[in-house]
Amino acid sequence: MSAYRSAGTRAVLLVTAGILLTQCSTPPPAAEVVSPAEAAIAPLVSIRELMTYIIDPASDGVFDAVGADVTDAGVVETFPETDDDWAEVQRGALTMAEGMNLLRLPRRVAPADDNVAKNPGELPPAEVEAKIAASPELWASHIDRLQQEAMKVLDIVKARQGDQLFDAGSAIDAACEACHLDFWYPGDREAVERFNNSTTTFDPPAP
Ligand code: HEC
């Protein structure tokens, strides 16, 4: 009886296997099977879109974290206070740092349906692209620079050193501008340097 049962079970298994084999008789083409090692990272959006939707909003997480307002009571500085405030700074810094890696992947400069310079003084996307292709090391050095400045902010977050966010923000701003001046609006270099070197003085009115 037990022999019969086991034979019966085997028969059922064979039938099941037969059905499975029939169902699997048209396997997907081999090309669709991609091992993780072979999978390539394909860029989806342009540099312009990364800037507008990832890098620029991330930088605000650091830039907007501190403030200095001139009031009747003098200059009032504001710093991150709660854990949520600090998490926002951290989000911004690490999104910038890791987001820069996306610029190491060759990708189009602007979307296909918006492939023109938007403002006077800006190079058209085709020229930006040619510059990147001609100076890959310079391009990479700007990416490195912003990544290093953003990583410093992560240390500031860990140590909760709010007053250091002013200098860190300026260093990040300078890193953004340095890349833009080399690759996006090189004609503005002189004006930007004049502005950066200018000093503002304030003479309080005589009593
Ligand atoms: C490695 C180079 C590089 C760095 C670093 C960089 N950018 Fe850009 N960015 C570009 C290029 C190239 C463009 C021009 C793309 C185009 O034609 O619109 C651009 C464009 C922009 C734009 C305009 C997007 C638009 O809609 O026209 C903004 C805003 C911007 N960047 C913000 C930033 C900020 C903020 C930082 C620093 C936190 C930064 N970028 C750092 C290369 C860089």
| pLDDT at res. 14 | 46
pTM of the predicted model as reported, rounded to 2 decimal places: 0.81
Q: Residue 72 — very low, low, confident or very high, per pLDDT cuts 50/70/90?
A: very high
In angstroms, the CA 176 to CA 94 distance is 15
In angstroms, the CA 45 to CA 198 distance is 38
What number does the ligand 1 atom closest to the CA of 139 have? 1
47 C-beta closer than 6 A to ligand 1: yes
Name the β-bridge partners of 70: 75
In angstroms, the CA 147 to CA 58 distance is 13
Q: Residue 121: left (phi > 0), alpha (psi -120 to 50), or beta? A: left
Radius of gyration for the chain, computed over Cα atoms and rounded to the nearest angstrom: 29
For ligand 1, atom 36: residue with the closest CA: 176
Domain ranges for the chain, please list them: 47-194
Output 160-163 pairs: Cβ under 8 A, ≥24 positions apart: 160/80, 160/86, 162/65, 162/66, 162/79, 162/80, 163/77, 163/79
pLDDT tens for 88-130 read 999 999 999 999 999 999 999 999 999 999 999 999 999 999 9
For ligand 1, atom 16: residue with the closest CA: 48
183 C-beta closer than 6 A to ligand 1: yes
Distance from residue 180's CA to the centre of ligand 1 (Å): 6
141 C-beta closer than 6 A to ligand 1: no
Q: Residue 107: left (phi > 0), alpha (psi -120 to 50), or beta? A: beta
What's the CA dihedral at 196, 151, 185, 124 to 10 degrees? -170
Distance from residue 48's CA to the centre of ligand 1 (Å): 7
Distance from residue 206's CA to the centre of ligand 1 (Å): 45
CB-based contact 82:49 (threshold 8 Å): no
Mean residue pLDDT across the chain: 86
pLDDT higher than threshold 60 for residue 184: yes
